[in-house]
């Protein structure tokens, strides 16, 4: 997959993205994170119904290189976990913004979206790292 950072997403400095859909958000990891980790071999998701907090870990992804915490860009309740990524973690490497999404949440504090980075600000984070 070629390097990409869609304009319609919001990002955090820990290389996670959020697609805001009303009072819900879909979360995943960026191309940069997937590329840095290499091929994913395991996804440890949170439980549906669990509450997650902005800037806190909500699960793990494991590659042949490392185990990495998933850092939530937003707070909310887990509505759905992507079962296809549990079965085939490499889906994230193939399509991190599409079929490789990780969880869907109901936002507990929609104002938090204002603290996230747009694509230009996220690219600055990448350039400075």
Return the pLDDT at 129: 84
Return d(Cα 48, Cα 13) in angstroms, integer.
25
Q: Note whether residue 1 is domain-resident.
A: no
| Owning domain of residue 20 | 14-124
Return d(Cα 106, Cα 24) in angstroms, integer.
4
Helix/strand/coil for 128: helix
What end-to-end distance do the CA atoms of the chain give, in Å?
A: 21
CATH number at residue 66: 2.40.50.100
Q: Note whether residue 8 is domain-resident.
A: no
Q: Note whether residue 58 is domain-resident.
A: yes
Number of structural domains the chain divides into = 1
Interacting residues of 101 by C-beta distance below 8 A, sequence separation 6+: 19, 26, 27, 28, 82, 85
pLDDT band at 35 (very low <50, low <70, confident <90, very high): very high
User: Model pTM greater than 0.85?
Assistant: yes
pLDDT in tens, 66-84: 999 999 999 999 999 999 9
């Amino acid at each position: 997959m070629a390097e990409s950072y869609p304009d319609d997403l919001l990002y955090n400095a820990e290389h996670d993205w959020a697609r805001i859909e009303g009072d819900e958000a879909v979360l995943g990891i960026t191309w940069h994170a997937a590329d840095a980790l290499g091929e994913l071999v395991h996804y440890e998701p949170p439980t549906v119904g669990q509450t997650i907090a902005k800037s806190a870990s909500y699960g793990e992804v494991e590659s042949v290189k490392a185990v990495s915490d998933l850092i939530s860009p937003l707070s909310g309740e887990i509505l759905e976990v992507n079962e296809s990524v549990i079965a085939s973690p490499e889906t994230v490497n193939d399509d991190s913004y599409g079929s490789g999404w990780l969880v869907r949440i109901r936002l507990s504090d929609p104002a938090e979206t204002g603290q996230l980075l747009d694509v230009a600000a996220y690219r600055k984070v990448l350039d400075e790292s």
